[in-house]
């Protein structure tokens, strides 16, 4: 074997060694490119075209920014955006306050913590369709048990899902039930990983528990809160299943979130170019809020 | 705490009530349980077939995602290369995208390939969220396996792939099982993609439940019975994997 031959073999080996990570990592990424990146590129293309169930077999005409300009001129779209933002803000404020309260409580209470933790884990794992329908049964105006027990304490029956004034609140209640467990468990994990020394020092200095919470616990929990917030903002913003099963966006569109709006245009009117434009707008909002929170997280670490 | 399972218990209770009692006023709490609703749901072969569909789709998607995910997670946990950080972060992006935005183009593409109402289409669409979830979750579990173990195996003549299979997989097994359970639950619960992509042939359970809301009436007894049947495996799995799920939560890798 000549020296140059051996040299060549070594360089091939070095080259193969460099490619080794690709052998492990690329299969997952190749599949994701085919089933996710390509379709998303396709829907970007679609968002500049007119796709309807009647015409798509013969032609899909290019219409420029028409879908996007229609979108921003559409009152219903703008109102669905407003509803979604209201929903996100209201639900998150309640979930984080309640979640913080429960996490602090569980952090002290030691007895039976394992069981409590398993039980509060359950709502977030449940099938959303079943959750939506179960609450629809509970909220039923005439026969639901919530209204029944309200009436036994002389409280008027409430049109939980059929009154335009109340429906959004009812949907928020269900979301709070469904996801406060997630917030609680995350905050609890954050609380339990905190160092003990600063808290002892605070106790020795005679800090009140409110002071300790505001000036020690909250700042130390900041990155946990931001991670939880990141997931919750994203998940609440794109909510579909539970709302769809509870109200299908009604009554009078007061619970029509952006996802439901797109669903209606895409899969009831089959105007898929328009639906693509709307989903791209939604993607931009979600990426921007995720980026914003991730940057805040990066700075707090 | 009681509040967090009360609705679930109410659903279970309703599923054992005679359909006539579902809406009795005042509500009945003590009654002789009946399996009538379950019998109604299971009558005929359709529901059994849809259980099969749900199982097949969830298992197939989970299996593919966990296989590809273990390879990728192992790769990320063992190799340092240029761009590794950003590649790793890019796995999070699919978890940010709204499902409705993903299903619009998938519907058009599957429609063009005549794959609407097939289990294949559903398995493929579920991979869009199970693969990123599996990769991201398992990176943590593989990083917990000390590298020395496989290095000594490789000195003894194992190839790296053999070392991965013989050393890393068994040690990381509980984490892999937890990942698989979570992927399975997500697929089993999924509604939007299934509602759009499936019809009479490939329908899954969450869609089937909604079919008990007919134009004439909402068959609450059957909804409660089928809903309970869908929930019970989820609850059992969630309790089994509880410890790992909570750990994943704490790391910010599960939502």
pLDDT at B253 over 80: no
Give the pLDDT of residue A192.
Answer: 86
Whether residue A283 and residue B97 make contact (CB cut-off 8 A), yes or no, is yes
Look at residue A31 and tell me if it is in a domain. yes
Prediction ipTM score: 0.91
- Between A63-67, B30-34, B55-59, B85-89, the lowest mean confidence (pLDDT) is in B30-34
- Between A110-124, B60-74, B149-163, the lowest mean confidence (pLDDT) is in A110-124
Look at residue A192 and tell me if it is in a domain. yes
CB B61: neighbour CB atoms within 10 A?
Answer: 28
Give the pLDDT of residue B157.
Answer: 86
Give the pLDDT of residue B242.
Answer: 82
Q: Would you tell me which residues 11-40 of chain B have a C-beta closer than 8 angstroms to some C-beta of chain A?
A: 11, 14, 22-23, 25-27
Please tell me the distance from the alpha carbon of residue A184 to that of residue A283, in angstroms, as a whole number: 28
Look at residue A49 and tell me if it is in a domain. no
The total number of structural domains that make up chain A: 2
Please tell me the distance from the alpha carbon of residue A264 to that of residue B104, in angstroms, as a whole number: 12
pLDDT at A1 over 60: no
Identify the helix (H) or strand (E) that includes residue A135. helix A128-139
Nearest CA in chain A to B189: A127
Identify the helix (H) or strand (E) that includes residue A219. helix A218-237
pLDDT at B56 over 80: yes
Give the pLDDT of residue B252.
Answer: 62
* A134 → closest Cβ in B10, B72, B213: B10
- Residue tagged 């509970």 (tokens): A138
Beta bridge partners of B213: B218
Give the pLDDT of residue B126.
Answer: 98
Burial B86-110 (b: 16+ CB within 10 A, else e): ebbeebebbbbbbbbbbbbbbbbbb
Check if B1 contacts A (Cβ < 8 Å). Answer: yes
Look at residue A67 and tell me if it is in a domain. no
Give the pLDDT of residue B141.
Answer: 87
Please tell me the distance from the alpha carbon of residue A258 to that of residue A289, in angstroms, as a whole number: 16
Q: Which of the pair, A208 or A91, is modelled with greater confidence? A: A91
Model confidence pLDDT, tens digit, residues B37-54: 999 999 877 899 999 999
Range of the domain at A154: 74-300
Whether residue B108 and residue A46 make contact (CB cut-off 8 A), yes or no, is yes
Look at residue A47 and tell me if it is in a domain. no
Mean pLDDT of B146-166: 87
Confidence of residue A3 (pLDDT cuts 50, 70, 90): low
Same domain for A90 and A220, yes or no, is yes
Same domain for A147 and A28, yes or no, is no
* B209 → closest Cβ in A133, A177, A181: A133
Q: For all residues of chain B together, what is the average pLDDT?
A: 90
Same domain for A101 and A18, yes or no, is no
pLDDT at B255 over 70: no
CB A301: neighbour CB atoms within 10 A?
Answer: 7
* B210 → closest Cβ in A36, A129, A189: A129
Please tell me the distance from the alpha carbon of residue B124 to that of residue B40, in angstroms, as a whole number: 32
| Cα torsion through B98, B99, B105, B106, rounded to 10 | 150
Contacts with A21 from chain B: Cβ below 8 Å: 75, 78-79, 81, 84
Look at residue A210 and tell me if it is in a domain. yes
User: A145 to chain B nearest CA, in Å?
Assistant: 7
Look at residue A242 and tell me if it is in a domain. yes
Whether residue A134 and residue B8 make contact (CB cut-off 8 A), yes or no, is yes
Whether residue B5 and residue A122 make contact (CB cut-off 8 A), yes or no, is yes
Look at residue A59 and tell me if it is in a domain. no
Please tell me the distance from the alpha carbon of residue A148 to that of residue A156, in angstroms, as a whole number: 10
Distances, alpha carbon A35 to alpha carbons A41, B103, B122, B127, B132, in Å: 11, 11, 12, 8, 12
pLDDT at B186 over 80: yes
Mean pLDDT of B203-220: 90
Check if B76 contacts A (Cβ < 8 Å). Answer: yes
* B230 → closest Cβ in A31, A127, A237: A127
* A121 → closest Cβ in B25, B107, B245: B245
Give the pLDDT of residue A106.
Answer: 86
Give the pLDDT of residue A242.
Answer: 94
CATH number for position A132: 1.10.3720.10
Confidence of residue A76 (pLDDT cuts 50, 70, 90): very high
User: A211 to chain B nearest CA, in Å?
Assistant: 26
Give the pLDDT of residue B254.
Answer: 64
User: B141 to chain A nearest CA, in Å?
Assistant: 16
Contacts with A150 from chain B: Cβ below 8 Å: none
Give the pLDDT of residue B45.
Answer: 74
Q: Which fold has domain B53-218+242-255?
A: MetI-like fold (1.10.3720)
Same domain for A21 and A142, yes or no, is no
Contacts with A46 from chain B: Cβ below 8 Å: 104-105, 108
Give the pLDDT of residue B147.
Answer: 86
User: B8 to chain A nearest CA, in Å?
Assistant: 8
């Amino acid at each position: 074997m000549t020296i140059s031959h051996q040299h060549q073999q070594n360089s091939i080996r070095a080259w193969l060694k460099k490619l080794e990570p690709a052998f492990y990592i690329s299969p997952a990424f190749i599949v994701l490119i085919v089933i996710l990146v390509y379709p998303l590129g396709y829907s970007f293309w679609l968002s500049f075209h007119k796709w309807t169930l009647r015409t798509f077999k013969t032609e899909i005409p290019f219409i420029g920014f028409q879908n996007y300009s229609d979108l921003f001129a559409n009152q219903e779209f703008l109102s669905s955006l407003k509803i979604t933002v209201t929903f996100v803000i209201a639900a998150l404020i309640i979930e984080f306050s309640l979640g913080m309260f429960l996490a602090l409580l569980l952090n002290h209470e030691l007895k039976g913590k394992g069981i409590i933790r398993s039980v509060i884990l359950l709502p977030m794992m449940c099938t959303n369709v079943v959750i939506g329908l179960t609450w629809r049964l509970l909220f039923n105006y005439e026969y639901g048990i919530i209204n029944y027990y309200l009436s036994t304490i002389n409280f008027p029956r409430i049109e939980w899902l059929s009154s335009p004034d109340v429906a959004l609140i009812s949907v928020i209640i269900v979301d709070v039930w469904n996801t406060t467990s997630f917030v609680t468990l995350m905050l609890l994990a954050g609380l339990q990983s905190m160092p003990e020394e600063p808290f002892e020092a605070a106790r020795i200095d005679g800090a009140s528990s409110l002071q300790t919470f505001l000036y020690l616990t909250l700042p130390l929990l900041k990155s946990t809160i931001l991670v939880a917030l990141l997931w919750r903002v994203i998940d609440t913003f794109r909510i579909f299943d539970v709302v769809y099963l509870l109200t299908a966006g009604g009554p009078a569109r007061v619970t029509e979130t952006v996802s439901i709006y797109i669903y209606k245009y895409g899969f009831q009117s089959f105007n898929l170019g328009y639906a693509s434009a709307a989903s791209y707008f939604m993607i931009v909002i979600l990426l921007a809020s995720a980026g914003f929170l991730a940057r805040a997280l990066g700075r707090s670490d | 705490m009681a509040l967090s399972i009360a609705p679930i218990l109410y659903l279970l209770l309703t599923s054992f009530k005679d359909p006539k009692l579902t809406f009795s006023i005042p509500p009945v709490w003590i009654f002789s349980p009946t399996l009538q609703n379950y019998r109604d749901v299971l009558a005929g072969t359709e529901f059994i077939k849809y259980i099969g569909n749900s199982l097949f789709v969830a298992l197939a998607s989970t299996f593919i995602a966990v296989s590809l995910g273990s390879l990728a997670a192992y790769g990320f946990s063992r190799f340092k290369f240029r761009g590794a950080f950003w590649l790793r972060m890019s796995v999070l992006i699919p978890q940010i995208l709204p499902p409705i935005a993903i299903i619009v183009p998938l519907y058009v593409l599957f429609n063009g390939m005549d794959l609407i109402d097939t289990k294949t289409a559903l398995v493929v669409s579920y991979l869009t969220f199970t693969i990123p979830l599996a990769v991201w979750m398992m990176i943590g579990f593989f990083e917990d396996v000390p590298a020395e173990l496989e290095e000594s195996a490789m000195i003894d003549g194992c190839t790296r792939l053999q070392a991965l299979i013989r050393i890393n997989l068994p040690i990381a097994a509980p984490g892999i099982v937890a990942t698989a359970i979570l992927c399975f639950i997500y697929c089993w619960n999924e509604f939007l993609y299934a509602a759009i992509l499936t019809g009479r042939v490939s329908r899954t359970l969450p869609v089937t439940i909604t079919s008990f809301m007919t134009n004439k009436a909402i068959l609450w007894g059957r909804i409660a019975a089928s809903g309970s049947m869908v929930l019970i495996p989820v609850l059992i799995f969630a309790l089994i994997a509880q410890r790992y799920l909570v750990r994943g939560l704490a790391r910010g890798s599960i939502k």
